[in-house]
Amino acid sequence: MIITKEEMVKIKVDLLKQMNTFIINLGDETILKTWLMCGIPDQPDEEDFLFFANDKEEWNDICNLFGRLVQRTT
């Protein structure tokens, strides 16, 4: 099965939304502040998610940031 670019972007947007919800629900102000400053902006719209999903470097950066922040919780 081949995934089209449009399908891949949709999957990435969904993942970004889930990552954003996860960070918000942690309830850790320090982690949330870092996420909002260096990652997804506060109250993101669809364009914000599409920006990260469509740019390979931005996608890699946001995934790496998410991973580093999640490691702080364990």
Residue range of the domain that includes 20: 5-71
The mean pLDDT value for 58-62 works out to: 97
| CB contact at 8 A, 15 and 21 | no
Question: Helix 5-26 crosses helix 56-71 at what angle (to 10 degrees)?
Answer: 30
Q: CA-CA distance, 66 to 20, in Å (whole number)?
A: 9
Task: Name the domain count of the chain.
Answer: 1
| b/e map 8-43, b = 16+ CB within 10 Å | ebeebbebbeebbeebeebeeeebbebbbeebbeee
Residue 73 confidence (pLDDT) above 80: yes
How far from the centroid of its chain's Cα atoms is residue 67's Cα? Answer: 10
Give the number of other Cβ atoms within 10 Å of residue 3's Cβ.
10
Per-residue pLDDT tens for 32-56?
999 999 999 999 999 999 999 999 9
